[in-house]
Chains A and B, each alone.
Chain A
Amino acid sequence: DTGVSQDPRHKITKRGQNVTFRCDPISEHNRLYWYRQTLGQGPEFLTYFQNEAQLEKSRLLSDRFSAERPKGSFSTLEIQRTEQGDSAMYLCASSTRGGRGRLSSGNTIYFGEGSWLTVV
């Protein structure tokens, strides 16, 4: 158990509907990541937060996707107007990031169990 919690674990939705996933990171971790994984592939980076600030977004994150981390703790990933191509596992991960000059042991990221999305 890595301590990263995701909800729901499974979601089946009709095309065109909106879905929202929630991630609760390990409590002392200030970085939070969202990845997407399809069958037979490795995780692909979507976006990450340093505390409440969203610092980087992948081009995979289309306008229909939005992620928030309002208080620097939990995060939500919303997909609007879902398409069949959105079917995947959405993984959340967290890590710590040391300050300047510190050895970045905080590079280690820990994943949650993922949220499976099926769009029918």
Chain B
Amino acid sequence: GENVEQHPSTLSVQEGDSAVIKCTYSDSASNYFPWYKQELGKGPQLIIDIRSNVGEKKDQRIAVTLNKTAKHFSLHITETQPEDSAVYFCAASSTTGNQFYFGTGTSLTVIP
């Protein structure tokens, strides 16, 4: 099955700086890669996703890049704000698969 690894496990940045979280996957059949933000005591919330037919996708301060050859994808948050502090999870799935495989999470702290 798919194996998703995520780094770093913790990340602290100054407010206004950028944050980058990286994930690798093992199954070349995976072609859908969502990112979720999870705040304490709440369920994961989808923040952005990317499909394998594109290399980059942006949504305001958030962007995701995908390198299918290297089997890795990254989340970029620019101009970080304290409310960006949360745990972020990457995931991988395929259109024919029925499961989403999650990374172990990155705890992001934005220091005011």
Contacts and interface: CB of A to CB of B under 8 A. Distances in A.
Interface string B99-111: 1111111000000
A110 B93 CA distance: 14
B2 to A, nearest CB: 10
18 contacts: A2-B43, A40-B105, A41-B104, A41-B105, A42-B89, A42-B91, A45-B100, A45-B101, A55-B98, A91-B43, A104-B95, A107-B32, A107-B95, A108-B49, A109-B34, A111-B46, A112-B43, A114-B42
A43 interface: yes
Contact of A43 (B41, B89, B95): B89
B43 A42 contact: no
Nearest to A111: B43
A68 interface: no
Interface in A73-117: 91, 104, 107-114, 116
Interface in B6-55: 6, 32, 34, 36, 41-46, 49
Interface in A20-72: 33, 40-45, 48, 55-56
B100 A111 contact: no
Interface of A: 2, 4, 6, 33, 40-45, 48, 55-56, 91, 104, 107-114, 116
A48 B32 CA distance: 18
Given A43-B89, A112-B43, A104 B102 contact: no
Ranked nearest first, the 3 interchain pairs of A and B with the lowest CB-CB distance are A42-B102, A111-B43, A104-B95
Contacts of B95: 104, 107
Interface in B31-90: 32, 34, 36, 41-46, 49, 89
Given A40-B104, A41-B104, A104-B32, A111 B44 contact: yes
